[in-house]
Structure 1
Amino acid sequence: MTFDNELELHKIKDIFPNARMVIRIRCDATVAQCPLGMKFGCNPYTEAPHLLNVARSLGINVVGVSFHVGSGCKDPPVFRKAILAARQIFDYAATLGYNFNLLDIGGGYPGDHGTSIEKIAEIVNLALDDYFPDPSINIIAEPGRFYVSSAYTLTCNIHSIRAVNVEDPVTGHNTVNYMYYINDGVYGSFNCILYDHQKITAQPLKNYTNGKLYSSSIWGPTCDGLDQVIDNIMLPEMVLGDWIVFENMGAYTLPVASPFNGFPIPKVHVVADENIWLLLKDIFPLSEDHFVIGNTPTNLRLGLDIVSTDPWSLPALPITIPVCRNGGLIEEHVLDFVRPIE
């Protein structure tokens, strides 16, 4: 378990004195989609030594260091700074008799379409080679956003349209602003706008050929005026029943969605090989009730054909996947086939 203040150490001493503890330090990226340092992490130079001395005096077993530079990090060099700070804490802890064996380098890695983890990986790997060459040190990370951000694409249906005449501030002429109301909003999948500072992009599913674009806004289905998905975007003139596609909707969306105003949480339509689905379905944190299998509407399915020019990079086989029930390991699946969706 992690700690970043003295009170936590006293609580652990009273409640679970045999716990293995990890000190969490603060090292903030200058640019991050979701900063975390204002809530978690102690100063590695002014606070961490004191906390380690308190832990030693209480007889608490501290085994390592963790940090999180901020989710959606756009400041790759901060990882080297944080790893160096962790190294110095490892060294200080050794003077107190500790033998740290764990370093958690947190998350923050980009996962959207068009992004790459290579720059961060290069900095992290070089820093680990420089400061943690000992192979006995366990290095772990929290790459949630990296794995799931682009794994989900959200497609919403237009159920209402409002055309509003507005005055162009430049020309003074009246223009039409289209307000599109869709069947998901900030109380559902788009809570990432409120809680994860997500910048949403939208594109029509249908290919409009006239090329004319209009100032538009996109709104969720609830009664709340806060329920706005996009404030201002240039879109073609769409009609009732059209679909709008939102990519990169896998991080901090469904897990925080609510049925506010009686609108249900969206279903997930799985696009996967049947054998892969049978293998993985029991591992999902969501139940089968959350998924729609085999009956995706034809007009939607035709527009979501998977096309990729990049070759698949497949892991070495076989892959062993543990399946747990009620906290215990009951079986292991061995995955010896992986092939792209055809």
Structure 2
Amino acid sequence: MYKFGEINTYEGVLDLKGVVKEVDVEEMEEALNICDLSTLSQKYKTWIKHMPRVKPYYAVKCNDDALIVKELADLGAGFDCASKNEIKLALEAGAKSEDIIFANPCKPPSHLQYAKEKNIMASTVDTEFEIYKIFEHYPESNLVIRFRCEAKVAQCPLGDKFGCNAEEDAAALMLLAKSLGLSVIGTSFHVGSGCSEYPAYNRAIATAKNLFKFGELLGFDMKLLDIGGGFPGADDNKFAAIAEIVNMSLNKYFPDEKVEIIAEPGRFFVASAYTLVCKIHAKREVRAGKKVDVKMYYINDGVYGSFNCVLYDHQEVTVEHFLEEDDNLKKFKTLIWGPTCDSLDKIIEDAYLPNLSCGDLIAFPNMGAYTVPIASPFNGFMVPKTLYFKAI
């Protein structure tokens, strides 16, 4: 019998249907996350294969499950942390202080103090106010200037909130740091989460090179380039295409191996590690005359739970059923709702599924990114349980 709270092992390929049958998900009130930790090592190998010079610093906010963080720490990843609790989590997982970057450009003073206590040296900034704050609370830290250089197409653009103007503000921030006796060690950028305009990386890396030159003129030891995140989590071919552009750009603008290159992947590592299994607890058929036009299913998780990624991360989720495949199996236009009483709680409205019944199970793959940390028990519906697996 599989156990919750422990890492269950398997040989060969994880049998999703077998797990669902043995756990008896149909009898569970909450949905079930099936987490395959083995996919993390596979993704890490893929990363090293395609971008061997770039060290991944996992974006903890993407999925802060302690077992996920521990697995990535064991693999040798660094960590992009945005708060003292994320720093604490990474350290408890075994990460070294030098393998953590405090990458939130807007840090509460108490969190800066905690970073100082734990000797977290690298800190991202993008305004003069943040530089003055660091000067007051942690002047020994090393500054990384974050500039704005967004992709034209991204799931979650970040430039409206973070990143200074590279041409007008970045140099001024370096001059301010110099006047205060602070240390600038490099630059960072983020083209946007879920980037689909790959040349954005080239533009950003070229801009970073110019800022490095200015920093060196001021006497700074410019030695760190952070290329941010935005890497796809469920399409390794897209990742390979991005990596090709990144590698070419790094070879052109940063051929000196003394410059450390890091990135902040989140979804790349964890999206494909989770499959969410949900139960249909209610059903409705919408008819046009005597013909069923749309079938609606109401399930035990929704946009206030795991499917917050639909709202927060603009994710387009996909659904699978557990019926035996049959070419003659008729499929209907399907709309899937979450369990709450809010009409916003809509998960999918353009799926095609066979006729399902109350009590049937459906599965959603690639549900590991921006789901677990944000899920809430709104309206009294429980967040999913998680079963962990690892290949032996």
Q: TM-score, normalised by structure 2?
A: 0.66
Query: Within 1, Cα distance between the matches of 2:325 and 2:266?
Result: 36
Pick the structure with more helix per residue: 2
Query: After superposition, where does 1:171-190 map in structure 2 within 5 Å?
Result: 175-190=292-307
Q: Is residue 150 of structure 1 aligned with residue 263 of structure 2?
A: no
The answer as to 2:387 corresponding to 1:269 is: yes
Question: Which residue of structure 1 lines up, in the alignment, with residue 233 of structure 2?
Answer: 111
| Alignment-derived partner of residue 249 in structure 1 | 367
List alignment gaps of at least 5 residues for structure 1. 168-172, 274-338
User: What pairs up with 1:1-342 in 2 under 5 angstroms?
Assistant: 1-113=123-235, 115-166=237-288, 175-209=292-326, 210-273=328-391
Q: CA deviation at 1:249?
A: 0.6
- 1:115 offset after TM fit, Å? 4.4
Structure 2 gaps, min length 5: 1-122
Q: 2:357 corresponds to which letter in structure 1?
A: V
> Given the superposition, is the C-alpha separation of residues 157 and 193 from structure 1 closer, same or farther in structure 2, using an over 3 Å criterion?
same
Question: Which amino acid letter does the alignment assign opposite residue 213 of structure 2?
Answer: D
Shift of 1:54: 1.3
Q: CA deviation at 1:271?
A: 2.8
8 Å CA contact 1:208–1:236 kept in 2: the answer is no
Asked if structure 2 preserves the Cα contact closer than 8 Å seen for 1:113 and 1:248, the reply is no
Inter-CA distance 113–99: structure 2 relative to 1 (3 Å threshold) = closer
- C-alpha contact (below 8 Å) 2:285/2:292 kept by paired residues: no
Give me the CA root mean square deviation. 1.6
Question: The residue matched to 1:135 in structure 2 has which SS?
Answer: coil
Higher alpha-carbon Rg: 1
Distance in 2 separating the partners of 1:37 and 1:156: 35
Secondary structure of 1:116's counterpart equals helix
TM-score normalised by length of structure 1: 0.75
CA shift for structure 1 position 233: 2.1
Describe the SS at the equivalent of 1:158. Answer: strand
Greater relative CO, 1 or 2 (CA 8 Å, sep 6+): 2
Contact 1:36 1:68 in 2 (8 A): yes
1:113 Cα deviation after fit: 4.7
In terms of mean alpha carbon deviation, does 44-53 or 231-240 score higher? 231-240
| Identical amino acids, percent of aligned pairs | 52
Q: Tell me the secondary structure at the aligned position of residue 286 of structure 2.
A: strand
- Does the 8 A contact of 1:155 with 1:245 survive in 2? yes
Match of 2:54 in 1: none
Q: When the two structures are aligned, how many residues end up with a matched partner?
A: 269
Show CA shifts across 1:133-182 (max 9, x none): 11111111112111111111111111111112247xxxxx8543211011
Q: CA-to-partner distance for each residue in 1:83-142, whole Å, 9 max, x for gaps?
A: 110110000111111111111111111111564311111111111111111111111111
Partner secondary structure for residue 52 of structure 1: helix
